[in-house]
């Protein structure tokens, strides 16, 4: 027998909150234990054991990025997940459909993280052979901050953000229920694509400030949550963009 809808929603909200809290706790442990640094410093090899293989580095990246996604991004999509749960609560296997939605969403972010990893390794290989780039490592951080700041003003940012900020419209447009499992997974993938589209640059800022800074991570997570879920959140995009561009300027002036 199914539980009452409100009770289902509260349980799901508690589960999502607990999952995000566990991810934050794992990241916090990453600052406290030697092995944990492998989860948080995947953008740099400085904290890796000397014998670490390429597969070890890749695994550390995947684990660290997945934890970051669960901690920072899953809470921002909770309104859509909870709305979907209400839509399918009367269906058999409703819990499985919600799980497929979440899996699809996380899969997109993990796939994006894999692309980031491959590109970062390629860039590091090229930079290692250029003495000027090695001596001016600050350039990478400045480029990321500048690019993220400019993206805050782009039409693509706002188009994707509008999709994320209208979860009910998003679900109504895409959910038919004819093939529930396939549609639930596709919903999660589609929502993940739009989420990456509006937030990818802010996630890459972690590559510039260092993923070991939980304060920075929490700050960026709050910015993305406000942008996506508050009625006035869109007005935050421009000030954040200005702040990121200013941060790039500070790095250049300090250098």
What pLDDT sits at residue 1? 38
What pLDDT sits at residue 33? 58
What pLDDT sits at residue 120? 82
What pLDDT sits at residue 47? 45
For the cut 50, the answer to whether the pLDDT of residue 45 exceeds it is: no
What pLDDT sits at residue 32? 66
Residue 73's alpha-carbon distances to 10, 21, 49, 50, 231, in angstroms, are 20, 12, 29, 32, 18
SS3 158: helix
Cβ neighbours, 10 Å, residue 1 = 2
For the cut 90, the answer to whether the pLDDT of residue 107 exceeds it is: yes
For the cut 60, the answer to whether the pLDDT of residue 25 exceeds it is: yes
Q: Which of residues 28 and 182 earns the better pLDDT score?
A: 182
DSSP 234: G
- Are residues 12 and 85 in contact, defined by beta-carbon separation less than 8 angstroms? yes
Question: pLDDT tier at 28 (50, 70, 90 boundaries)?
Answer: confident
Question: Which token pair is 55?
Answer: 């597969």
Sole residue written with tokens 């920072």:
72
What pLDDT sits at residue 8? 60
What digits encode the pLDDT tens for the residues 47-100? 444 445 567 777 777 888 888 899 999 999 999 999 999 999 888 888 899 999
Closest CA to 224 of 216, 154, 119: 216
Distance (Å, whole) CA 98 – CA 80: 11
Which uninterrupted H or E stretch holds 49?
none
What digits encode the pLDDT tens for the residues 140-181? 888 889 999 999 999 999 999 988 888 899 999 999 888 999
Q: Which of residues 37 and 152 earns the better pLDDT score?
A: 152
Residue 52: phi and psi, rounded to 5, are: -65, 130
Tell me the whole-structure pTM to 2 decimals. 0.85
What digits encode the pLDDT tens for the residues 189-220? 999 999 999 999 988 887 666 545 677 888 88
- Are residues 212 and 29 in contact, defined by beta-carbon separation less than 8 angstroms? no
For the cut 60, the answer to whether the pLDDT of residue 4 exceeds it is: no
For the cut 90, the answer to whether the pLDDT of residue 239 exceeds it is: yes
């Amino acid at each position: 027998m199914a539980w009452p809808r409100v009770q289902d929603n509260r349980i799901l909200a508690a589960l999502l909150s607990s999952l995000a809290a566990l991810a934050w706790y794992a990241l916090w442990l990453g600052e406290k234990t030697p092995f944990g640094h492998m989860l948080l410093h995947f953008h740099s090899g400085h904290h890796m054991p000397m014998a670490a293989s390429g597969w070890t580095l890749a695994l550390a990246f995947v684990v660290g990025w997945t934890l970051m996604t669960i901690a920072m991004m899953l809470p921002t999509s909770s309104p859509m997940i909870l709305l979907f749960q209400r839509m399918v609560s009367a269906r058999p296997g409703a819990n499985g459909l919600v799980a497929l939605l979440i899996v699809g969403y996380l899969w997109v972010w993990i796939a994006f993280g894999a692309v980031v990893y491959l590109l970062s390794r390629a860039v590091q290989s090229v930079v290692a052979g250029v003495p000027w780039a090695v001596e001016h490592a600050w350039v990478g951080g400045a480029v990321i901050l500048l690019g993220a700041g400019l993206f805050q003003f782009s039409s693509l940012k706002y188009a994707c953000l509008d999709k994320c900020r209208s979860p009910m419209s998003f679900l109504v447009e895409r959910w038919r229920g004819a093939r529930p499992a396939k549609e639930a997974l596709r919903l999660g993938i589609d929502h993940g694509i739009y989420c990456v589209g509006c937030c990818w640059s802010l996630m890459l800022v972690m590559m510039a400030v260092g993923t070991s800074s939980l304060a920075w991570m929490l700050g960026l997570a709050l910015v993305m949550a406000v942008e996506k879920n508050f009625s006035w959140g869109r007005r935050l995009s421009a000030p954040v963009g200005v702040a990121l561009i200013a941060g790039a300027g500070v790095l250049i002036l300090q250098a």
